[in-house]
Structures are given as structure tokens and as C-alpha cells.
Structure 1
Amino acid sequence: MSDADRLAALEQRVAALEETLRAPRATGTPDPEVFWALDGLLSRVGDPGAVLITGHVTLPDGRAARWQESAGTEELVDGDWSQHVAALAALAHPARIRLLQQVLRGASTANDLIRVDGMGTSGQVYHHLRQLVAAGWLHTTGGGRYEVPVARVIPLLTTLLGARR
């Protein structure tokens, strides 16, 4: 195939892609096989809409986290976001995110967490643990053990999932 033929074929493909982008998009309900949770939400909530987070997770320690929460658009947009700053700020440190991840993976004591490569000194680890406990992302279970409360597992994971976007 000559360079001229390849160029003509490429121009034809680009033109087809541009036409596809100009075409009106279908409206209506997204594919229910893909958006089954959204389909359920749409069937229950009118305009201006709502947000739903839900999930079920079995943790390495055997605890099951099954959780769902929804809120209306107006409640979320018009609410006082500042009341959530402490919980969000507690997640806004690389060491604290790593600590939460390690606890979800099965590390349960400060000693386990201090041994994590690059975590810092024991004083730094305890500082971060206190921040996470104060914000409700961790709680102590006695005997120097920590765990993510079951009611916080799905919100934590959905926060991380949302941060991917």
C-alpha cells in the first residue's frame, strides 16, 4: 500500500469518527445490564435526582460489610459541606491512606503498621492512627487493635472509587 493510499484510508477513518461524534446521542435509560443500580434508582427517584452508594465486601478478617446510603440532589448540593471536612481531611495524607489499606488487608495492631515499609516512626504512625480514629475511619477493638468500622468500609471504598474519575 502506497503512502498516498494509507493517507487516504486514514482520512476516511478520521472522517467517519468525526461523523460519529456529530451524530445525536440516544437518550433514555442506559443499558440495564450495565447500569442496573442506576436503573433501580431512576425507578424510585424523580428529578432533580439522587446519589446512591452501595456495596458488599467480605474483609480478610471475615467481617461482612453490606451497606447502602442515598441522598437527594438538593440535600447534597444545598447542605453544609464544611461538616465533612474533618473526615475528608483525615484521608488526605498518603500515610493515613496506606494505614487504612493495611488495616483492611488484615494488619490490626500499631506494631503491624509500624513494620510497613516507609510508614515512618512509631510516633508518626500513632499520630496518624489518632487522626483516623478521631475522624471515625478507624476504631480500637481492645488489646491495641484497630479496625475500619463495618459502617465505614463501603463509604471508604466508594470514596476511593470516586477519586479515580
Structure 2
Amino acid sequence: MSSYEDRLTEVEQQVTDLLQRVDELEQQAATSASPPQPTFQIDPTILGQMRNREGPPYEEEGTRGAVTYAGALHTHGAQYEWQIERPAPGLLQLEPEPLAHVLAALGSPQRLLLVRALLSGPRNRQQLQEALDVTSAGQLYHHLKELLAVGIIEQRGRNDYRLEPRKVIPFLTLLAIALDLTNLK
């Protein structure tokens, strides 16, 4: 073989190797951008208990059932655990306005980023501005005001904020529910 043919073979191999690397990187990018995959294992004990709830408050006007959620999180040295069950008829009878206020308070990407930043612990104004990548304290305070009003975050002193501990697992559950309501897989 001539040196030209050797060189051509070498270039062909390099192109093949590069194409393989591009494929691998694309697969990694697709995998890392994917939301967490749900676990669809149904606990028959819990589901059976909820299915068998009878009488008030679990059964009213032809509706019977319950909704439960739970979670455990260990992050940045803090441990959060939560489990709660709600009778379905009561959920369907709730006044929509207070619920809409909570959902609206969390209904902006900036506020979701704020709450996520507070998951790692208390933060001051400057740290929260950096997390949001905003230069105006006014923009930050606008978002903080909405989250404070519905009790998702707490102000601990003049310039310190934290996620209200009893709201950590419900917040993560709300993210999981929003994910389940979208077309993301």
C-alpha cells in the first residue's frame, strides 16, 4: 500500500472514531437532560388501606377515597421526612382561592429557583440574587414577597431567608406532580 492509501485509511478510522464519540456524547446529553424516572411500584398495603377507607371523612356524596404522599430527603446536613393522607372528598370541596395563591406563588421559574436555592440551607439577599442571576434587589424582593405571603419561605432576621421545614417534602411533591402532569418522561 502507498502512503496515500495508508493515510486515507487512517483518516477514515479517525472519522469513524469521531462519529462514535459524537453518538456517545449525544446519548449522554439526552440521558442527563431527562427528568428523574418515576418508580411505578405500587405498595399494595398502602393502596389497600386507602381503597378500604369508608365513612366520613373518606366517603361523601358518592365519592370515596384518599390521597397520600410521603418523602424523605437528606440534603446539606438536614433531614426532612413527611407523610400525610388526605380524604378525597375534602380535597374536592376545598375553596380554590387559597390553593390558587400557593400555585401562583410557585408559578414562575424565578420563584422555583429561589425555593431550590433555599433547599440547601438559609440564604441572605445577596446569595439569593446570585442564585437568580438578578442585579436588582427589587426583583428579588418581589419574588420573596410572594413566597413569604403563602408561607413557603420564612424570613429569619432582616436579611436571612429559609425554606419553611414543613414545606420541603410538599414542595418536592409538587414538583413531582407538575412533572407527572407534563408530557416529560
TM-score (norm 2): 0.63
Asked whether the equivalents of residues 95 and 119 of structure 1 are also in contact (C-alpha less than 8 Å), the reply is no
Query: How far, CA to CA, are the matches of 2:52 and 2:130 in structure 1?
Result: 51
Q: Residues 107 and 119 (structure 1 numbering): CA distance in 2 closer, same or farther, change over 3 Å?
A: farther
Q: Runs of 5+ in structure 2 lacking a partner?
A: 1-39, 54-63, 181-185
What amino acid maps onto 1:146 in structure 2? Answer: Y
Query: How far, CA to CA, are the matches of 1:97 and 1:120 in structure 2?
Result: 18
Shift of 1:107: 5.8
TM-score (norm 1): 0.70
Q: 1:163 aligned to 2:169?
A: no
* Larger Rg computed on CA atoms: 2
Asked whether the equivalents of residues 50 and 65 of structure 2 are also in contact (C-alpha less than 8 Å), the reply is no
Asked whether the equivalents of residues 63 and 150 of structure 1 are also in contact (C-alpha less than 8 Å), the reply is no
Q: What percent of counterpart residues are identical?
A: 28
Query: How far, CA to CA, are the matches of 2:121 and 2:84 in structure 1?
Result: 26
- Determine the structure 2 residue equivalent to 1:66: 81
Aligned length: 131
1:27-86 deviations in Å (ceiling 9; x for gaps):
xxxxxx9212x63142255262210011111231x2221111211111111222222121
Query: How far, CA to CA, are the matches of 1:124 and 1:135 in structure 2?
Result: 18
Q: How does 1:4-153 map to 2 (within 5 A)?
A: 34-36=41-43, 39-46=45-52, 48-60=64-76, 62-106=77-121, 108-116=123-131, 118-142=133-157, 144-153=159-168
Q: Runs of 5+ in structure 1 lacking a partner?
A: 1-32
